[in-house]
Amino acid sequence: MSSPRTVIVFGPTGQIGSVAALTAHGEGAKVILAMRDPSKPIPILDGLSAGRVQADLTKPETVSTAVRQTGAKHAFIYIAHGGNDGMRGSITALKDAGIESVVFLSSFTIEKDIRDVSPTELIPYIHAQVEISLDEIFAGNSVSVRPGYFASNSLQMKSDCLAGEVKLPNPDALFDWIAPADIGRVCGKILAHGSEERVVPLVGPHKLTYHKVVAGIGRVLGKDIKITKVEGEEAVDVMCAKLHVPRHFAEWFVANITGDSSDISHSPDYTKAVENIWKYNKEPVTFEQWLKENKALFVD
């Protein structure tokens, strides 16, 4: 019988990293939490017998120190903004310090060979660059978990919903609204036990339009919410404000939500991605369940 793995989770304060850490611990792994501020409380991990170490994925020297100090052999990482090198420095630091395998929180928006993704495809491109770094540095000993559209993205509409009107470029766009906890549980299972797959796509159990999502939020809040379709420059302005992103990103998002990518099931990996929640985890959380569990986030 193999001995339990020693794993290091970067970003354990996040909605996915925290569940990945909790799941890996529940699967018998020795868990180390790597954080910019090790003193920061993580309510979901209260009582967890996990070590804490200071590290920042944008600073490779701290990554190296954290791994060497803890003796961790397997790591969970996420996209760390602040560079354009595909996180090569920190991924190299992981390898040189003794990490044997990596679980990377990537994106379902990657729909082609990672080396064919264009820089104009903003979200797919930055994730593909990290996957390329992992491929070249870890030579097959990495797993890229590619989740779809987070249920928590609905919180971007919180203020609009409370005000009674939501403006959207395409209210009929279909997304999967995957529960972040489902993503975290899959990542934690793979971190603790490994996977024979290099890429694990994940999506939620049901496709829902923005119309249905907003209606669901309305039921939870006990109010009717109007949806108004916006187009052109107004659509870009609206998404800039809603997503708190630069204009070029909002333009990319609007183009995708109104184009072929407006139905997530068009992806060739869609069917497999639905099945993977069951394969690695359990019955997936529906958006309606997630909404009921997180009602407080919409009213606070």
pLDDT of residue 262: 64
Does residue 217 form part of some domain? no
Q: Are 138 and 102 in contact (CB under 8 A)?
A: yes
What's the start-to-end Cα distance of the chain, in Å?
Answer: 48
Give the CATH number of the domain where residue 92 resides: 3.40.50.720
pLDDT of residue 149: 94
Residues present in the chain in total: 300
pLDDT of residue 125: 95
Does residue 47 form part of some domain? yes
pLDDT of residue 242: 86
Q: Are 95 and 134 in contact (CB under 8 A)?
A: no
Structural domain including 14 reads: 6-148+180-203+268-282
pLDDT of residue 282: 84
Which long-range contacts (C-beta less than 8 Å, at least 24 apart) are formed by 257-264? 257/168, 257/169, 257/170, 257/173, 258/169, 258/170, 258/173, 261/109, 262/170, 262/172, 262/173, 262/174, 263/173, 263/174, 263/207, 264/108, 264/148, 264/149, 264/174, 264/175, 264/176, 264/203, 264/207
pLDDT of residue 98: 98
Does residue 222 form part of some domain? no
pLDDT of residue 260: 66
Strands 174-175 and 199-202 turn out to be: unpaired
SS3 104: strand
Does residue 80 form part of some domain? yes
Does residue 244 form part of some domain? no
Q: Are 83 and 56 in contact (CB under 8 A)?
A: no
d(C-alpha 18, C-alpha 183), whole Å = 11
Does residue 27 form part of some domain? yes
Quickly tell me which residue has 């978990």 as its tokens. 145
Does residue 240 form part of some domain? no
Per-residue pLDDT of the chain (300 residues; tens, 9 = 90+): 568 999 999 999 999 999 999 999 999 999 999 999 999 999 999 988 899 999 999 999 999 999 999 999 999 999 998 667 899 999 999 999 999 999 999 999 998 999 999 999 999 999 999 999 999 999 999 999 999 999 999 999 999 999 999 999 999 999 999 999 999 999 999 999 999 999 999 999 999 999 999 999 999 999 999 999 999 999 999 999 888 889 999 999 998 888 766 676 677 788 899 899 999 988 999 999 999 999 999 987
- Number of folded domains in the chain? 1
* Tokens of residue 189, six digits: 């299972």
d(C-alpha 24, C-alpha 192), whole Å = 5
Does residue 22 form part of some domain? yes
d(C-alpha 76, C-alpha 17), whole Å = 8
Please name the residue ranges forming H helices in 3-87. 17-26, 60-70
Can you say whether the dihedral through the CA atoms of 164, 169, 174, 177 is positive or negative?
negative
pTM to 2 decimal places: 0.94
